[in-house]
Structure 1
Amino acid sequence: MMKGEEMKEIKIGMLGFGTVGTGVVRVLRENEREITAKAGVKLTLKSVLVRDAKKERPYMEGLHLTENVDEILNDEEIDIVIELLGGIHPAREYMLVAMEKGKNVVTANKDVVAQFGKDMFEAMEKYGVDFHFEASVGGGIPIVMPLKQCLTANRVTEIMGIINGTTNYMLSQMSENGSDYDSVLKEAQAKGYAEANPAADVEGLDAARKIAILASIAFNTRIRFEDVSVEGITKVTPEDIEYAKALGYVVKLLAIGRDCGEAGVDVRVHPVFLPKAHPLASVNDVYNAIFVRGNAIGEAMFYGRGAVAMAARTPGSSSTRRRT
């Protein structure tokens, strides 16, 4: 920006003000100076969609809260819509309307991206806007843009990773403390790492949605959630953990995508005996890691926090940098 030139302002509308939404507001406020310097624009959160505008929330001071989504979708001043509602409906419909109205969309919604990504990308192309979903996979790990841009010159042959922080925490506790499945699940729930209904995590469904997204990008194809073979950790016992240790392995829930040549792409999620020497074997607690093998780069690994780390992500800044 030239000296004396007025700083451009980008206005944001956010759908949802739960744990992740609260984290977004916190980061936008606490890191405002850094974000402005790096993005070259001023980000302003103009409106936030909530169920109850009168409910007390952290960081709500100075925010305009609304219970009417049309107030955001029809606001011509809003440039970016951040969708943090979760679930498929009405999140999918809101995002499509936002793009139709010329707004860039950023989402952390792996359900929509995994099942209706094609619709989202078609709308993006049709209306000439951006659709970003980095926050939908990998917890605190930036992985989508590296796969789409930095590794473009590579033919990716394999992508596999620990992409569910909840189950990695549980397996780590079972390994370190000899705890059984039921005990570590209760502990994970008490710490907020697992939901009251933990099925999406412990049955591998969350990881399956994420690997469907990552494999689609890595192999330049369309992998649906239904294409992924899935087995969770509900049947893993302390005896399994100890048997693995005795053989020089650790038990990890891996999401795996492999290019099998003419046979197509193999995508699956299941517990594995992983050699202790493998880079992923030392990824413990709520941390995630994604291991990529390509014909040019060789091997690379991306590492960061998983469960509950999403609140530390800042959806919106990457879209801002590319659209200004």
Structure 2
Amino acid sequence: MTEDQSQTRAGFAAIIGAPNAGKSTLVNRLAGSKVSIVTQKVQTTRFPVRGIAMHGDAQIVLVDTPGIFNPRRRLDRAMVASAWGGADDADVVVHLVDAASHIASETKDGTAADRRGAEDTETIIKALTAAGKQVILALNKIDGMRRDTLLALAQKLDATGAYSEVFMISAATGDGVDDLKARLAAAMPEGPWMYPEDQAADVPMRVLAAEITREKVYLRVHEELPYSAAVETTAFDDRADGSARIEQTIYVERDSQRPIVLGKGGQTLKWIGQKAREDLTEILGRPVHLFLTVKVDPKWQDSRALYAQFGLDYDA
């Protein structure tokens, strides 16, 4: 502890939003470190990731929740329950909205994904107003957008009564993020810091390692492989030479998906392993020996062990 505890502040800030609103990018930007995976796939965050951001005498513990949407499968229900749970336990909540996508959803140029995002945003607003909650609205991905268009969207959403204030940001470039960070810091209650000043995340290393590898899987095979893969860290050992030996299993649902992950001559799996190892080496600050296995398990989404690994409620 480097400061008098009576002068410090610490608390939780939850980032909620529709899938692909940019929540993970925002958490990474606020924390200044890679603590949440970011891919072009929606629904890649399956459990709340606690990033830790410092601002003056305040420590902000960031909860990056799974995207809130209308659940259909068991895993979907667990993810949505996790998201609302993260919001309920926080000192302040930020509702992140993809401004560009939301505006596009109302035009003929809008895609099905734009319209789904707008519908999910409406679902969140209805839930907030029904609960009598007011949260901070952050309009994201404002790059290159006309100011009058943004102001009109802000006024429309603010009129729902779900928001106490509005910020306009770009999580990708950092525009406006410092102002939002200062606001979150001011909302933290007085008290001692929960973590060392130089710690960027509160995620079990086995879980973070699995998430990083899963990110690489989606980056490489996002076209061929839908949401049918999971990664489990089956072994994480510290070696005498200071390096880490990590064993992981990549689960897919069908036999036809295994060759997709392996690639011709194993080249795809080799790329996934190499990129994951590079990230893990940087995060751990030591050499990493990573060993990947691909297994077919049609029922991996019903595995209680995997739900437990990610802190999700199997019975949600």
Does TM, scored on the shorter chain, surpass 0.5? no
TM-score w.r.t. the length of structure 2 is: 0.33
Task: State TM-score, norm by structure 1.
Answer: 0.33
